[in-house]
Chain A
């Protein structure tokens, strides 16, 4: 489906990418159904609290420096504001820059749900502009504004005439999409449609979409070997820098789920090639990714030289640890941009993946193709492992852990690792998106994995004293019990 940046909102992942949150089966079945188009979502008749696209959309945007996010919603929807403040203060200090971004809520109350609140929204945007002179304003919508039919787009059109800065509505009503990652696309859509300008020139820069740029220095050094500079977004980026995304040589992303809309949008609308390979996690991922970058920017020889040099340093060290990891069994629960990539890395390290759960699944990306990580696993996975798609349904994860009793559980969401720990399963929280990046990250990840397994004192003692909130009945059921039959 072509990307259209001339309309105010982007379609959900369900409609654009055929994304699902309910599935129970195995690797081969999932990929085969994705390729032949037969994959359908299965709803749950019982579910636990999930997450909404607003968090992803506004969370991403709020990392941009010196802007204002106006969340047109009741107060609870702006609960992330204090955390945004902390993240922005710490991450900008780390970079040696400042970030004056403000996150403001319109605090909709009962009266507003009856009479609407577009006037107070207008007033708040204008007051915010007076107070802080932000470089751009992004107005988030919510379940409440969506249901009462608040015409935010018209407010934006009016304000555009009054204020000399880019203003965009970000349509992220919580009920819109089962896929919280739709929020990434809504954020990208707002940036593509209101901030990015056509290129006047080309620069030796590669757009690097990520979360918190923790491997910034390392990547700058790597890219120096190929005479290019990375530009990291959105955390710590400026509106001016984002307006020039079109001038870059290519776009890469640390996570396919995060990057699909921006990467494909920049390619389709502004001619910036999007590097779509498996992700730079683990050895194969890193090398495949680097080679494709070399290919796109015509630096193939330099990339090969770099790979040869680094291999000599790291591969023997990684091989040494692999001996200790061999035969371990793992369960994973992460966003799909990581589940399938980390499964591959674990297999590279000799760890057996017994169950992989992804919080959602994109049947294809915005270029119409199955995510590369799945193609890779279909060809290379030593086993056809079990697999489920569940929007962070903890009860299913704990059932899986109870049945398969793995040596370790991996997650990228702290809310699920704590429950595994309470159930006595050592868990590794893959918090940082660069935790497994490149050779160095892979080595460090292998060491951390070993550390997690070697000292289990906390899990053992805590589990002996904790009662989990699940019935014995539940642990005796199949984990997919509450999935309805496929929609026809």
Chain B
């Protein structure tokens, strides 16, 4: 991968791990890391029950670097149990602990044997990015907490929407949950509706895992299959707009053997809802030849919506996640798997400057650029209309709007027109 990271779009493994741990109700993250790691890792993350600088931390200084930090970790855990009110304590290690080789597991096991609900995650920042931390933490939590549980035919686990890394994660979750609820399904996300560790424990009883991502969570999927016999339905990209969302529903319904007539009725209602709004708002959004830059889920989702539902023309799609090469072809095919229009060129690139140079090649042709706040600079320079769809989005305040599903595509169109 490119070693020159101009303005990283993701945090480190620790940031991803914190996003997961602090996203689950009444989980107390404990940093075994440098003094600044909590603050840095929480940049761009919102604090719920606890998060960022409110988390216990060993704040490893010179003394711990030289003499080791296990005693410091032990006393920090002891203090956390007294001071912090939680259902689960999750030790997150940073670079310092990782390099000096502190034996974190044996300290954590001391507490485990006393019956303390505690887990540790090897999340040294240098191990990887936010996605690495997200995967590692989910795997560890499920491995550690989930136990055999009676099957619930109408319950699904929903994964792939990465907290904080997906700028619209709350809203995207809310819309997909709304649709799944309408199909009569109960949804475990671990991150919404005050779900806590009880949900993780029982997630082994779900009828199916839904993973909204072309590449994430291969190991987690295997853990569910091997230990609990739960299958995974992987849908590549975020379903945005009527065509994709209805496809998603139909494929899912087959996996779950849902009543076909009922499902078609739901689809009809939802499509009618969207198209009744489309109808009233014709001619507002122009026709564009577009470039899109962002994470795989967003690029796939928005490209499909704009092409398959809204007659727009794709030119270039740049995927900015650091995705293992083995998945590149699959993702490229997914972006190009469009019902109409010409196929976009698909590039995997992280470096902001190189992305700018790629956009420059389309200067004469492109009329719309969608990306992160970083792409706003090249968009403004080349005078291409630019709108923000991927992280980081530094200029706007986002509570719970999202682009996923039926309703999300309307929000997306509003934002596109309003140039948010």
Partners in one complex: yes
Chain B interface residues toward A at CB < 8 A: 1-8, 10-15, 26, 28, 31, 34-41, 43-44, 47, 49-50, 52-62, 64-65, 75-76, 78-80, 82-86, 94-96, 98-100, 124-129, 353, 373-374, 392, 394-395
Tell me whether B5 and A415 are in contact (CB under 8 A).
no
Closest CB of chain A to B314's CB: distance in Å? 26
Closest CB of chain A to B228's CB: distance in Å? 31
Tell me whether B35 and A174 are in contact (CB under 8 A).
yes
Across the A-B interface, the 7 shortest Cβ-Cβ residue pairs: A46-B79, A52-B36, A49-B38, A76-B12, A49-B57, A74-B125, A174-B34
Tell me whether A51 and B36 are in contact (CB under 8 A).
yes
Tell me whether A120 and B3 are in contact (CB under 8 A).
yes
Tell me whether A107 and B8 are in contact (CB under 8 A).
yes
Which of A78-86, A192-200, A454-462 forms part of the interface with chain B?
Answer: A78-86
Contact with B along A374-387 (1 / 0, CB 8 A): 00000000000000
Q: At the interface, yes or no: A123 with Cβ under 8 Å from chain B?
A: yes
By CB atoms of chain A within 10 A, which of B13, B28, B34 has the most? B34
Tell me whether A180 and B373 are in contact (CB under 8 A).
no
Tell me whether A47 and B58 are in contact (CB under 8 A).
yes
Q: At the interface, yes or no: A391 with Cβ under 8 Å from chain B?
A: yes
Segment 419-455 of A: residues with Cβ below 8 Å from B: 419
Q: Which residue of B lies closest to A467 (CB)?
A: B49
A47-B56, A109-B126, A469-B49 known; A79 and B64 CB under 8 Å?
no
Q: Which of B1, B7, B39, B49 contacts A82, CB < 8 Å? A: B7
Closest CB of chain B to A415's CB: distance in Å? 5
Query: What residues of chain A lie closer than 8 Å to B373, measured between beta carbons?
Result: 82, 85-86
Which of A143-151, A307-315, A361-369 forms part of the interface with chain B?
Answer: A143-151
Closest CB of chain A to B374's CB: distance in Å? 7
- Give the CA-CA distance A418 to B50 in the complex, in Å: 11
Which of A2-10, A98-106, A159-167, A267-275 forms part of the interface with chain B?
Answer: A98-106
Query: What residues of chain A lie closer than 8 Å to B61, measured between beta carbons?
Result: 175-178
By CB atoms of chain B within 10 A, which of A77, A120, A124 has the most? A77
- Give the CA-CA distance A82 to B58 in the complex, in Å: 27
By CB atoms of chain A within 10 A, which of B14, B83, B373 has the most? B83
Tell me whether A175 and B96 are in contact (CB under 8 A).
yes
Closest CB of chain A to B122's CB: distance in Å? 11
Tell me whether B7 and A81 are in contact (CB under 8 A).
yes
Which of A251-259, A319-327, A338-346, A470-478 forms part of the interface with chain B?
Answer: A470-478
Q: At the interface, yes or no: A394 with Cβ under 8 Å from chain B?
A: yes
Tell me whether A79 and B34 are in contact (CB under 8 A).
no
Closest CB of chain B to A485's CB: distance in Å? 15
Contact with B along A109-130 (1 / 0, CB 8 A): 1101100010010011001100
Q: At the interface, yes or no: A336 with Cβ under 8 Å from chain B?
A: no
Q: At the interface, yes or no: A45 with Cβ under 8 Å from chain B?
A: yes
Q: At the interface, yes or no: A488 with Cβ under 8 Å from chain B?
A: no
- Give the CA-CA distance A80 to B12 in the complex, in Å: 12
Contact with B along A153-197 (1 / 0, CB 8 A): 000000000000000000000111110100000000000000000
Q: At the interface, yes or no: A54 with Cβ under 8 Å from chain B?
A: yes
Tell me whether A178 and B11 are in contact (CB under 8 A).
no
A49-B54, A174-B34, A178-B35 known; A74 and B392 CB under 8 Å?
no
Q: Which of A76, A104, A482 contacts B14, CB < 8 Å? A: A76
Q: List 28 A-B contacts (CB under 8 A).
A: A48-B53, A49-B56, A50-B38, A52-B37, A55-B39, A74-B12, A75-B8, A76-B11, A76-B41, A78-B5, A79-B8, A83-B394, A85-B373, A85-B394, A102-B7, A107-B2, A107-B4, A107-B5, A113-B99, A128-B4, A143-B95, A144-B125, A147-B99, A175-B65, A180-B35, A180-B36, A415-B54, A418-B47
Tell me whether A176 and B3 are in contact (CB under 8 A).
no
Closest CB of chain B to A68's CB: distance in Å? 9
Closest CB of chain B to A180's CB: distance in Å? 7
Tell me whether B35 and A48 are in contact (CB under 8 A).
no
Closest CB of chain A to B251's CB: distance in Å? 35
- Give the CA-CA distance A47 to B60 in the complex, in Å: 11
Closest CB of chain A to B47's CB: distance in Å? 7
A47-B57, A54-B36, A113-B99 known; A470 and B84 CB under 8 Å?
yes
Closest CB of chain B to A278's CB: distance in Å? 29
Query: What residues of chain B lie closer than 8 Å to A394, measured between beta carbons?
Result: 53-54
- Give the CA-CA distance A146 to B40 in the complex, in Å: 18
- Give the CA-CA distance A468 to B85 in the complex, in Å: 8
Main SS at interface, chain B = mixed
Closest CB of chain B to A345's CB: distance in Å? 26
Closest CB of chain B to A160's CB: distance in Å? 20
Q: At the interface, yes or no: A395 with Cβ under 8 Å from chain B?
A: yes
Q: Which residue of A lies closest to B55 (CB)?
A: A49
- Give the CA-CA distance A471 to B26 in the complex, in Å: 12
Query: What residues of chain A lie closer than 8 Å to B95, measured between beta carbons?
Result: 74, 113, 142-144, 147
Tell me whether B65 and A147 are in contact (CB under 8 A).
yes
Tell me whether B56 and A76 are in contact (CB under 8 A).
no
Closest CB of chain B to A78's CB: distance in Å? 5
Tell me whether A49 and B35 are in contact (CB under 8 A).
yes
Q: Which of A49, A127, A175 contacts B52, CB < 8 Å? A: A49
- Give the CA-CA distance A482 to B59 in the complex, in Å: 15
Tell me whether B57 and A48 are in contact (CB under 8 A).
yes
- Give the CA-CA distance A131 to B415 in the complex, in Å: 33
Q: Which residue of B lies closest to A399 (CB)?
A: B83
Query: What residues of chain A lie closer than 8 Å to B53, measured between beta carbons?
Result: 48-51, 392, 394, 415-416
Query: What residues of chain B lie closer than 8 Å to A120, measured between beta carbons?
Result: 3
Tell me whether A175 and B40 are in contact (CB under 8 A).
no
Query: What residues of chain B lie closer than 8 Å to A293, measured between beta carbons?
Result: none
Q: Which residue of B lies closest to A77 (CB)?
A: B40
By CB atoms of chain B within 10 A, which of A75, A78, A482 has the most? A75
By CB atoms of chain A within 10 A, which of B6, B85, B98 has the most? B6
Q: Which of B35, B39, B76, B395 contacts A175, CB < 8 Å? A: B35
Tell me whether B3 and A107 are in contact (CB under 8 A).
yes
Closest CB of chain B to A84's CB: distance in Å? 9
Tell me whether A469 and B84 are in contact (CB under 8 A).
yes
Q: At the interface, yes or no: A108 with Cβ under 8 Å from chain B?
A: yes
Query: What residues of chain B lie closer than 8 Å to A391, measured between beta carbons?
Result: 35, 59
Q: Which residue of A lies closest to B72 (CB)?
A: A45
Tell me whether B5 and A105 are in contact (CB under 8 A).
yes
Closest CB of chain B to A197's CB: distance in Å? 30
Q: Which residue of A lies closest to B41 (CB)?
A: A76
Closest CB of chain B to A53's CB: distance in Å? 8
Tell me whether B36 and A48 are in contact (CB under 8 A).
no
Closest CB of chain B to A71's CB: distance in Å? 9
10 further contact pairs, Cβ within 8 A, besides A77-B40, A175-B34: A54-B36, A75-B12, A76-B37, A103-B6, A109-B126, A143-B95, A180-B36, A416-B53, A468-B85, A469-B85
Query: What residues of chain B lie closer than 8 Å to A75, measured between beta carbons?
Result: 5, 8, 10-12, 125, 129
Q: Which of A50, A106, A482 contacts B36, CB < 8 Å? A: A50
Tell me whether A52 and B44 are in contact (CB under 8 A).
no
A49-B57, A74-B125, A415-B53 known; A474 and B35 CB under 8 Å?
no
- Give the CA-CA distance A175 to B13 in the complex, in Å: 19
A49-B31, A82-B394 known; A76 and B54 CB under 8 Å?
no
Tell me whether B126 and A74 are in contact (CB under 8 A).
yes
Segment 48-97 of A: residues with Cβ below 8 Å from B: 48-55, 74-83, 85-86
Tell me whether A51 and B7 are in contact (CB under 8 A).
no
